[in-house]
Amino acid sequence: MASVTLKNVCKSFGAINVVEDVCIDIADGEFLVLLGPSGCGKSTTLRMIAGLEATSSGSISIGARDVTDLEPADRNIAMVFQNYALYPHKTVYENLAFGLRMRGVRKADIDSRVRRAAGVLGIEPLLSRRPRQLSGGQMQRAALGRALVREPEVFLLDEPLSNLDAKMRVQMREEIGRLHGETGISMIYVTHDQVEAMTLGDRVCIMRDGHVQQIAKPIDVYDHPASRFVASFIGSPEMNIIEGELDSDGTFRNAELRFSIPPGCFPEAKPGEPVSFGVRPEHLALAAPGGPASGRITMIERLGAQMQVAIDSGGIRLSSLISRNEALKVGDVVGLAADSERLHLFDAKNGISLRKS
């Protein structure tokens, strides 16, 4: 086990900057998730940690060692890929053992490591099978086992669940979380799936266009997003974002809506300056019409325990997540009441949160 430190890491392909000035400190034994949309630089960052991509500048350390210029084989890491990369002509046992044999590990030690890893992952009955005889989830366990037998200091996982169906993804998330808990090995996990990030990560690093936007615990990212991008990227349904400005009395307003802002929460917000107002759907309640904020229901989605209500307010589309027992129908005019303790304001120009830290 080891810590991982990225200091001012950059990666360029010609004139295109893919990763810019990334600084991350990952503690020994931590599970860090790199999260972001396609093309944000998260997989490139992971590949630089693995040594599969050279850095353009900056340094990478694993434990006390600077590994920036080391070959992948010398970094004592193990990587699990999206496509499993199992040898089709070898059994599961042979797939797990192959890397150890190439490194000259003794036969008795190989057998011990393979069987121990198979036991941890529950794939002992599969050791004699070949990949074509396995389900997607079983192949993913075999890929994890091949990484685990190396006894690495760091696990790197690049979208390992993207090829699985929804039910199997849930099961494998639990397996990976359990594996981390049992081994204590540092893990860095790349995904664009916010559910995976919120479920697995001790901390989440959100990236956009090669830049780190925020690094924090999952609940802190959700409750206190550092920017408008983070606020809209995390959460499903996503946060309601409304453009407008503050009045001198601390009220957010635009042409159609008014919401009171608690005093002292946003000291950087200046009256008369444009801001982006944010409130999550579960914090936007429906009330009797006639107040300072209202709209007409355009759609109702029943989600089981809750229902999601889409509201149009003068061309602004808002979403509210409420109890399924509310008696509502499309076309109803409703008032809107935002939880004053759960509001967000962002700078209209750069998107940075204006909340008092």
Nearest of 208, 236, 204 to residue 220 by alpha carbon: 204
Same domain, 122 and 259: no
Same domain, 151 and 253: no
Domain boundary among 182, 212, 229: 229
The confidence score (pLDDT) of residue 273 equals 87
Residue 277 domain flag: yes
Q: In total, how many domains does the chain have?
A: 2
Same domain, 209 and 259: no
Task: Answer whether 61's CB lies under 8 Å from 217's CB.
Answer: no
* Sheet of strand 154-158, all strands in order from the earlier edge strand to the far edge: 77-80, 154-158, 186-191, 31-35, 203-208, 211-216
Same domain, 217 and 75: yes
* C-alpha of 214 from chain center: 11
pLDDT (average), residues 245-269: 86
Same domain, 61 and 155: yes
Same domain, 81 and 222: yes
Domain boundary among 229, 245, 263: 229
Residue 355 domain flag: no
Q: Binning pLDDT at 50, 70 and 90, where does residue 357 land?
A: low
pLDDT digits (tens, 9 = 90+) for 213-230: 999 999 999 999 999 999
What token pair was written down for 132?
């074509």
The confidence score (pLDDT) of residue 267 equals 82
The single-letter code of the amino acid at 124 is E
Domain boundary among 191, 212, 229: 229
Same domain, 196 and 112: yes
Residue 335 domain flag: yes
Residue 39 domain flag: yes
The confidence score (pLDDT) of residue 84 equals 79
The confidence score (pLDDT) of residue 169 equals 86
Ranges 99-113, 158-172, 193-207: which has the least confidence: 158-172
Residue 352 domain flag: no
* Sheet of strand 284-287, all strands in order from the earlier edge strand to the far edge: 284-287, 333-338, 294-302, 306-313, 316-323
Residue 85 domain flag: yes
Task: Answer whether 159's CB lies under 8 Å from 112's CB.
Answer: no
Ranges 262-276, 292-306, 330-344: which has the least confidence: 262-276
The confidence score (pLDDT) of residue 355 equals 84
pLDDT digits (tens, 9 = 90+) for 71-86: 998 999 999 888 878 8
What token pair was written down for 299?
């759609």
pLDDT at 34 over 90: yes
Q: What is the CATH number of the domain that holds 143?
A: 3.40.50.300
Q: Roughly what angle, to the nearest 10 degrees, separates helices 92-102 and 136-148?
A: 20
Task: Answer whether 48's CB lies under 8 Å from 19's CB.
Answer: yes
Strand intervals (E) in the chain: 4-13, 16-26, 31-35, 57-62, 65-66, 77-80, 154-158, 186-191, 203-208, 211-216, 240-246, 251-253, 258-260, 274-279, 284-287, 294-302, 306-313, 316-323, 333-338, 343-347
Same domain, 245 and 175: no
Q: CA 187 to CA 33: how far, in whole Å?
A: 8
Same domain, 125 and 109: yes
The confidence score (pLDDT) of residue 196 equals 93
Q: CA 50 to CA 226: how far, in whole Å?
A: 29
Same domain, 221 and 124: yes
pLDDT at 291 over 90: no
The confidence score (pLDDT) of residue 301 equals 93
pLDDT at 327 over 90: no
pLDDT at 340 over 90: no
Residue, of 340 and 200, whose pLDDT is higher: 200
Q: Which domain holds residue 134?
A: 4-229
Q: CA 109 to CA 340: how far, in whole Å?
A: 61
Angle formed at CA 277 by CA 271 and CA 283, multiple of 5 degrees: 130
The confidence score (pLDDT) of residue 161 equals 86
Mean residue pLDDT of the chain comes to: 92
pLDDT at 168 over 90: no
Residue 155 domain flag: yes
Please state the φ and ψ torsions of residue 336, each to the nearest 5 degrees.
-125, 130
Residue 354 domain flag: no
What token pair was written down for 279?
């409130």
Q: CA 96 to CA 110: how far, in whole Å?
A: 9
pLDDT (average), residues 266-273: 85
Q: What is the CATH number of the domain that holds 271?
A: 2.40.50.140
What token pair was written down for 10?
């950059």
Same domain, 235 and 206: no
Same domain, 99 and 36: yes
pLDDT digits (tens, 9 = 90+) for 169-195: 888 888 889 889 988 999 999 999 999
pLDDT digits (tens, 9 = 90+) for 88-146: 999 999 999 998 998 899 999 999 999 999 988 889 999 999 999 998 888 988 988 98
Q: Can the peptide bond before residue 237 be classed as cis, meaning omega within 30 degrees of 0?
A: yes
The confidence score (pLDDT) of residue 164 equals 81
pLDDT at 295 over 80: yes
